[in-house]
Amino acid sequence: MNGLKSNAVFVKSEALKQKPAKATSFGKVFTDYMYVREYKDGEWKQGRIAPFDALELLPCSSILHYGQGVFEGLKAYKDGDGTVRLFRARDNFKRMQTSCERLCMPAIDVEQAFAALYDLVDIERDWIPTDKGTSLYIRPFMFADDNSLGVHAAKNYKFIIMLSPSGAYYAHGFAPVALKVERNYVRASAGGTGAYKVIGNYSASIKAGETAVKEGYDQVLWLDGVHRKYVEEVGSMNIFFVIDGAVVTPELNGSILPGITRDSVIRILKSKNIPVEERKISIDEVLNGAKSGALTEVFGTGTAAVISPVDRLGDGGIDYAVGKKGEAGKIASMLLDELTGIQTGAIADKFGWVTVVDNGVIAANK
The pLDDT, as a whole number, for residue 1 is 47
Other Cβ atoms less than 10 A from the Cβ of 87: the count is: 25
| Mean pLDDT, range 318-332, rounded to an integer | 95
pLDDT value at 95 more than 50: yes
Q: Assess contact for 297 and 331: CB atoms under 8 A.
A: yes
**Count of positions (residues) in the chain:** 366
The pLDDT, as a whole number, for residue 168 is 77
Rounded Cα distance, 78 and 151, in Å: 44
The pLDDT, as a whole number, for residue 362 is 52
Q: Name the burial class of residue 215, with classes exposed (0-12), middle (13-18) and buried (19+) by CB atoms within 10 angstroms of its CB.
A: exposed
Q: Which residue has the higher pLDDT, 47 or 359?
A: 47
What three-state secondary structure class fits 233? strand
Give the pLDDT band of residue 365 (cuts 50, 70, 90).
very low
The pLDDT, as a whole number, for residue 22 is 77
Give the pLDDT band of residue 26 (cuts 50, 70, 90).
confident
pLDDT value at 366 more than 60: no
pLDDT value at 361 more than 60: no
The pTM (predicted TM-score) of the whole model is 0.95
pLDDT value at 127 more than 70: yes
pLDDT value at 88 more than 70: yes
Q: pLDDT digits over 190-232, tens only?
A: 899 999 999 999 999 999 999 999 999 999 999 999 999 999 9
The answer for residues whose C-beta is within 8 angstroms of residue 173's C-beta and 6 or more apart is none
**3-state DSSP helix/strand/coil % of the chain, to nearest 5:** 25, 30, 45
Mean per-residue pLDDT of the chain: 94
